[in-house]
Amino acid sequence: MSVAILGIESSCDDTSAAVIVDGILRSNVIASQKVHEAYGGVVPELASRAHQQNIVPVVSEALRQAGIEKDQLSAIAYTRGPGLLGSLLVGTSFAKGMSIGLDIPLIDVNHLHAHVLSHFIKTDINDKSPEFPFICLLISGGNSQIILVKSMSEMEILGKTIDDAAGEAFDKCAKVIGLPYPGGPHVDRHAAEGNPKAFQFSKPHIPGLDYSFSGLKTSFLYTVRDNLKQNPAFIEENISDLCASLQYTIIDILLNKLKKAIKQTGVKDVAIGGGVSANSGVRNAVEELCRDLKVRPWIPPRAFTTDNAAMVAIAGYHKYLNKDFSDLGLPPFARVSI
């Protein structure tokens, strides 16, 4: 009998539902929220309201595209956290209600865990995946972590940010120079036309494998402010160089620690995940680093880098195989490591 898992993701501002049958992805539907663009960031109350509007049609469309009926589902996997509490409550409540209504198991999924396991999403039976143990550089708007992945369920954080995440650095610096939210993709686009060494920004000196990006943000802000005093057209005339230099610095910070982690652990497979892993500069730099160190790079399709339910469904699928089900009384949580 086939194992069909419905995944539901609602941790931030994207409502997503996906169906995986016997480990193969059948559908992955995402409804993005444009309402936050005017505010330069996600507004939690608006996000939760949008999830309420989107979740029923998104789940219905995911089932339709997968070609299955709801009574054919084996279990429902949902993002329990971390994320925005109001947004998580919408997905959690819907998943619990559907689980009760269909009398099928409920599976809670850690959002960060799901990003790591996105490398096990298969659209074809012959798709390859990293071999355990491997390192995953998890980089997103709220998290920057180096994780040693020992199995589907056992993961160890080797290093993490002590303040801002890489994605926050991209978005907040982008806002300083007037780029729309989310700023990361716009920085990436401008960086392709700029000189990555036109400006020098501060780099942290943090021991071990931990990260810090707050000093870089401050350095970027002061550079822009001081030059604007001399030239009101500074941003317009230098936007590509600013973006290229910012991106170059962030990548350099990320890869210096990743290189240390690879050498310390001796792993042969290195993966990246999270929204910032969609950045073309990051993807190219990780591939180049892996070539130099003679390890295998695992770069996810861009469709699986941002928040999506396919990664929740694949995490749920493997928990289902181990009969790792959750209690209906479990509440969502806003913060956790891994």
**CA atoms in the 13 A half-sphere facing the CB of 15:** 28
Q: Please give the Cα distance from 70 to 63 (Å, whole number).
A: 7
* Residue showing tokens 């695992």: 298
Query: What SS3 state is found at 70?
Result: helix
**pLDDT of 43:** 77
Distance in angstroms between the alpha carbons of the first and the last residue of the chain: 32
Burial class (CB in 10 A: 0-12, 13-18, 19+), 2: exposed
- DSSP per-residue codes, 42-61: --HHHHHHHHHHHHHHHHHH
Q: Please give the Cα distance from 173 to 71 (Å, whole number).
A: 48
CA–CA distance from 15 to each of 6, 56, 163, 188, 274 (Å)? Answer: 13, 10, 27, 25, 16
Q: Please give the Cα distance from 91 to 16 (Å, whole number).
A: 9
**pLDDT of 12:** 86
Q: Which of 151, 110, 153, 107 is nearest to 323 (CA)?
A: 107
The strand pair at 106-110 and 75-81 is best described as parallel
- DSSP per-residue codes, 86-122: HHHHHHHHHHHHHHHHHT--EEEEEHHHHHHHGGG-B
**pLDDT of 338:** 63
**pLDDT of 181:** 85
- Which residues share a beta bridge with 110? 81
Along the 338 residues of the chain, how does pLDDT read in single tens digits?
Answer: 799 999 999 998 889 999 999 999 999 999 876 665 665 667 777 888 988 999 999 999 999 999 999 999 999 999 999 999 999 999 999 999 999 999 999 999 999 999 999 999 999 989 999 999 999 999 987 889 999 999 999 999 999 999 999 999 999 999 999 999 889 999 999 999 999 999 999 999 999 999 999 999 999 999 999 999 999 999 999 999 999 999 999 999 999 999 999 999 999 999 999 999 999 999 999 999 999 999 999 999 999 999 999 999 999 999 999 999 999 999 999 887 66
**pLDDT of 47:** 81
Q: Please give the Cα distance from 114 to 16 (Å, whole number).
A: 13
CA torsion 111→117→119→124, rounded to 10°? -110
Asked if residue 163 lies in contact with residue 213, where contact means CB atoms within 8 angstroms, the answer is yes
Query: What SS3 state is found at 327?
Result: coil
**pLDDT of 336:** 73
Residue 231 backbone dihedrals phi, psi, to 5 degrees: -145, 105
User: Residue 267: which H helix or E strand, with range?
Assistant: none
- DSSP per-residue codes, 137-151: EEE-SS-EEEEEE-S
DSSP 164: -
**pLDDT of 42:** 72
DSSP 1: -
